[in-house]
Amino acid sequence: MSFSDFPALLLEHGFTPETYEFESTSLGFQHEIYNALIHHSPVFREQSRIREQLDVPGEMIRCDLFTYAGDLKTAVPFFYRQWFEELRYENPLREVLILDRAHHSAQIRALTISQCNAMTFRFNIK
């Protein structure tokens, strides 16, 4: 599976711009991402950015997460811990996390679908 399948998975579960208000879900996730990953974070700097891009179905929320020391060995596990403890839906119907790691950066693409909500993400960790 690849992140290019995300729009099809949203459609398969009935989530389209005509049938679902992605804006309110996006706003809620932006606050949750800030609180779970950035605010008072021991790993990611306050200069990290969260952007809504609802016109990009495969990554409706894009986050550029800047580490304090460029330490991916700490940043990637921290991200996953926060995702599973604070960000993901409690009982997801479908959840996909795809990690693409390079020497000085990592990219995590995520899709999460619950009974009533859905969202796609791109997290760039630098």
What confidence score (pLDDT) does residue 4 get?
77
Amino acid at site 14: G
What confidence score (pLDDT) does residue 79 get?
98
pLDDT along the chain (126 residues), means of 10: 82 92 96 97 96 95 94 95 95 95 94 96 98
What range defines the domain where residue 89 resides?
3-125
Query: 3-state DSSP: the chain helix, strand, coil percent, rounded to 5?
Result: 35, 30, 40
- How far the first Cα of the chain sits from its last, in Å, is 24
Domains held by the chain: number: 1
What confidence score (pLDDT) does residue 84 get?
96
What confidence score (pLDDT) does residue 103 get?
86
CATH number at residue 40: 3.30.460
Please report where in the chains the tokens 């016109």 appear, as a residue: 55
What confidence score (pLDDT) does residue 92 get?
95
What confidence score (pLDDT) does residue 63 get?
98
User: Measured between alpha carbons, how far is 80 from 47 in angstroms, rounded to an integer?
Assistant: 20
